[in-house]
Every structure is written in structure tokens, then in C-alpha cells.
């Protein structure tokens, strides 16, 4: 009950930004204890702003997952970068995440400069994937990242193995303002069931497909029906940009679509807690990532200010 909150209760928005593939979504899912954002080993997985909410007795931490900031090659990419950049001024704390398994890149430098210019709030430099770095290289690698800018708060973590995850969370909570619970204590995201379901299908497409094909995919949920008390029917369409990609997604004798479908169904069942019948279709929407109206149709639009 909000009325029962202690007077020193803290709450606020924590934007997690960085270049693609550094582990932003992995960390947020770990904090929330649910898959609110999909994860893949391929860059540019997250396309939208996704809230991951963790409510404890001392604080409500609203993590804002963002698309990786990069040099966009099409309108979808521009939308993604703008979405990420726009979260910065509204945050109470910013986590700037980098990947310790690689040296700093041009993108890391650019994001660091952007943050130093625009962030009016505490920025914590989060050096992720420490588990991949041999101990003898830690000093050299971290000093490369410290040189990105004057970040007073820093934490070396592993989002997957959990090293320093709790310490980073305490560091975040200490920097949040006093405030109420903005969301009910049992709400863990702002994403609808259907949106999460579409993303779970896309996650499996990202996993099994290679090169440009997985990035050319968009998934839409067309139907969601409870067939029995313990069975949900989900009809979904996988959109690709070209006829040749449609062939790849379907695979010889439908083998690829079957693989994606089976793996996605298992994820969906875990998510809804019921048996799922997943009906997958593949359609071509020519060059949709460059087409303003197709992007609008799929819901990739930046609200007007
Ligand atoms: N070894 C290791 N791998 C990690 C760690 N954190 C994330 N990963 C892996 O890094 C890859 C990218 O993780 P994501 O969470 O999708 O990265 P992201 O920053 O959200 O990427 P975008 O959404 O593309 O911007 C996945 O294969 C993760 O399993 C870590 O601490 N250690
Ligand atoms: Mg992500």
C-alpha cells in the first residue's frame, strides 16, 4: 500500500544507455527477475524503450531499457537512436554501459561525449562482462574506459554471472530521489502481453537466422485467443523485407520456420504459464525499415514533442 511507505522511500527512472550488444537488456532482466526485453548475441536487438520495474521495501527502481546507440543506416535505426537519446534528459540516474571484453570504440567515445553534454543527473559508468576479461588485463582495459570522460561513479560488473550486481543496485538506489511508487508493486513492465509475445518470437528469429535477415524481421501478433482454460492460440506474422528472405525464414521444407516456431512456443508457454498453439506466417513488406508509413504501421514512431 502506498500509504504504508516509509518517508525515506526512493523512486525514479534509471536510463540504461550504451552502444549495441553491451548487455543493457541482460542487466535489466536480471534486476527485474523477468524477461521484459529480449536478448541476443547480435547487435541492435532492442528497438524500443522498455520499462523494467523493480519494487522493493526501500525503493521502486524503474529501469529504462534503450536501443543501442549507433550510426543508423535506415529510418528504423534513426528511430532507435532517437528513442535512446531521448531517455537521457528524463532520467533520475543514467547507467552508461560498456563492454569490457573489447577496447573502447568510437561509439563509446561519442556516447560519453553526449552524456557529458546532456546528462544533468548522476551518470554511473558500468563496465560489463568482466567475466570475459583475464585478470591481468583488467587494469589496462579499465583505464581505457576511464579515459572516456569524467565519470565519478563507476562499477565493474558481470550482468550474467552476477558479480557486483547488488552493489550496483545499491549505488543506484542511493542516488534516486525520495518519492512514491509510480507503478503498482506487482507491475514489472509497461509492455503489453502481445508486445512481449511478438518480441519472444523475434528473439528466436534472431537466434537462428544469420547476417542481415534477423535484422530485417518484424513480428506482429494477429490473434490471441483462449481456446481452453489451459490453451492459448497465438497467430503471428513474421515480416521480412524481400522475397529471398522469406525463403530463408521458411527454410527447406519449412524447416527453419519450424525451428523458430518450436523455440518461440516454449518461450511463450513459459511466459503465459499455459500451453500455447503458435501459428506462424511469413510475409514480405518491401524495405519496411526505410519506409516511414510501414514504420508507423508497426508502431516505430517517435511522439511529437
Ligand atoms: N559473458 C558475458 N556476456 C554477457 C554479459 N552481459 C550480457 N552478455 C551477452 O551479451 C550479448 C548482448 O546482450 P544484450 O543484453 O542483448 O545487449 P544489449 O546491450 O541490450 O544490446 P542491444 O539491445 O542490441 O543494444 C548477449 O549474448 C548476452 O548474453 C556478461 O556480463 N558477460
Ligand atoms: Mg537490448
87 touches 49 (CB < 8 A): yes
Predicted confidence (pLDDT) at residue 155 exceeds the cutoff of 60: yes
Residue 304, pLDDT score? 62
Reported as a single tens digit per residue, the pLDDT across 275-285 is 999 999 999 99
CA angle centred on 159, ends 156 and 165, rounded to 5°? 65
Residue 248, pLDDT score? 98
- Choice from 21, 130, 131, 199 to test ligand 1 binding pocket (greatest atom count within 8 A of CB): 21
For domain 2-174, the CATH architecture is 3-Layer(aba) Sandwich (3.40)
Give the whole-number percent of the chain exceeding pLDDT 90: 94
Residue 29, pLDDT score? 98
Predicted confidence (pLDDT) at residue 118 exceeds the cutoff of 90: no
Q: How confident is the model at residue 25 (pLDDT cuts 50, 70, 90)?
A: very high
Q: In Å, how far from its chain's centre is CA 22?
A: 11
**Residue ranges of the domains in the chain?**
2-174, 193-297
For residues 293-302, give the mean pLDDT.
90
CATH of domain 193-297: 3.30.300.20
Give the whole-number percent of the chain exceeding pLDDT 70: 98
66 touches 49 (CB < 8 A): yes
58 class by beta-carbon count within 10 Å (0-12 exposed, 13-18 middle, 19+ buried): middle
Measured from the alpha carbon of residue 164, the closest ligand is 1
Sheet of strand 231-240, all strands in order from the earlier edge strand to the far edge:
218-228, 231-240, 275-284
Predicted confidence (pLDDT) at residue 170 exceeds the cutoff of 60: yes
Predicted confidence (pLDDT) at residue 75 exceeds the cutoff of 60: yes
Q: How confident is the model at residue 112 (pLDDT cuts 50, 70, 90)?
A: very high
Q: How confident is the model at residue 301 (pLDDT cuts 50, 70, 90)?
A: confident
**Which H, E and C letters describe 36-70, residue by residue?**
CCCCCCCCCCCCCCEEEEEECCCEEEEEEECCCCC
For residues 78-102, give the mean pLDDT.
96
Give the integer Cα–Cα distance in Å for 111 and 19. 8
165-174 vs 24-32: helix axis angle to the nearest 10? 80
Predicted confidence (pLDDT) at residue 2 exceeds the cutoff of 60: no
Reported as a single tens digit per residue, the pLDDT across 220-266 is 999 999 998 889 999 999 999 999 999 999 999 999 999 999 999 99
Residue 292, pLDDT score? 93
Give the integer Cα–Cα distance in Å for 253 and 241. 21
Most confident segment among 36-40, 114-118, 226-230: 36-40
For residues 198-219, give the mean pLDDT.
97
- Ligand 1 center–CA 129 separation, angstroms: 8
| Nearest residue (CA) to ligand 1, atom 11 | 41
Predicted confidence (pLDDT) at residue 1 exceeds the cutoff of 70: no
22 CA closest ligand 1 atom index:
19
Q: How confident is the model at residue 35 (pLDDT cuts 50, 70, 90)?
A: very high
For residues 100-111, give the mean pLDDT.
97
The mean predicted confidence, pLDDT, of the chain is: 96
Determine if residue 156 is left, alpha or beta; phi over 0 gives left, psi from -120 to 50 gives alpha, anything else beta. Answer: beta
- Choice from 30, 38, 39, 130 to test ligand 1 binding pocket (greatest atom count within 8 A of CB): 39
Residue 121, pLDDT score? 92
- List, as one string, the DSSP characters of 111-168: HHHHHHHH--S-EEEEEE-GGGS-GGGHHHHHHHHHTTS---EEEE--TTT-TTHHHH
Give the integer Cα–Cα distance in Å for 77 and 47. 8
Q: What is the separation, in whole angstroms, between the first and last Cα of the chain?
A: 34
- Choice from 17, 23, 161, 214 to test ligand 1 binding pocket (greatest atom count within 8 A of CB): 23
Amino acid at each position: 500500500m502506498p500509504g504504508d511507505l516509509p518517508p525515506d522511500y526512493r523512486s525514479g527512472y534509471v536510463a540504461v544507455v550504451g552502444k549495441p550488444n553491451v548487455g543493457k537488456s541482460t542487466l535489466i532482466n536480471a534486476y527485474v527477475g523477468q524477461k521484459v526485453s529480449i536478448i541476443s548475441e547480435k547487435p541492435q536487438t532492442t528497438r524500443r524503450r522498455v520499462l523494467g520495474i523493480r519494487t522493493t521495501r526501500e525503493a521502486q527502481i524503474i529501469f529504462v531499457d534503450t536501443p543501442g546507440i549507433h550510426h543508423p543506416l535506415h529510418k528504423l535505426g534513426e528511430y532507435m537512436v532517437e528513442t535512446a537519446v531521448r531517455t537521457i534528459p528524463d532520467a533520475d540516474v543514467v547507467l552508461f554501459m560498456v563492454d569490457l571484453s573489447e577496447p573502447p570504440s568510437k561509439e563509446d567515445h561519442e556516447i560519453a561525449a553526449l552524456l557529458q553534454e546532456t546528462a544533468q543527473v548522476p551518470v554511473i559508468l558500468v563496465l560489463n562482462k568482466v567475466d570475459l576479461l583475464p585478470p591481468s588485463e583488467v587494469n589496462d582495459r579499465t583505464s581505457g574506459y576511464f579515459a572516456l570522460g569524467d565519470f565519478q561513479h563507476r562499477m565493474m560488473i558481470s550482468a550474467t554471472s552476477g558479480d557486483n550486481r547488488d552493489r550496483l543496485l545499491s549505488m543506484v538506489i542511493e542516488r534516486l530521489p525520495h518519492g512514491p511508487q509510480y507503478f503498482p508493486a506487482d507491475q514489472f513492465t509497461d509492455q503489453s502481453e502481445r508486445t512481449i509475445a511478438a518480441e519472444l518470437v523475434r528473439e528466436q528469429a534472431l537466434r537462428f537466422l544469420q547476417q542481415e535477415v534477423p535484422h530485417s524481421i518484424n513480428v506482429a501478433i494477429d490473434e490471441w485467443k483462449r481456446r481452453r482454460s489451459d490453451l492459448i492460440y497465438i497467430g503471428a506474422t513474421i515480416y521480412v523485407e524481400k522475397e529471398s528472405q522469406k525463403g530463408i525464414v521458411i527454410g527447406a521444407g519449412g524447416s527453419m520456420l519450424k525451428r523458430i516456431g518450436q523455440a518461440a512456443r516454449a518461450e511463450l508457454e513459459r511466459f503465459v504459464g499455459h500451453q500455447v498453439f503458435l501459428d506462424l506466417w511469413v510475409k514480405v513488406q518491401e524495405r519496411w525499415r526505410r519506409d516511414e508509413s510501414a514504420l508507423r504501421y508497426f508502431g516505430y514512431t517517435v511522439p511529437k514533442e
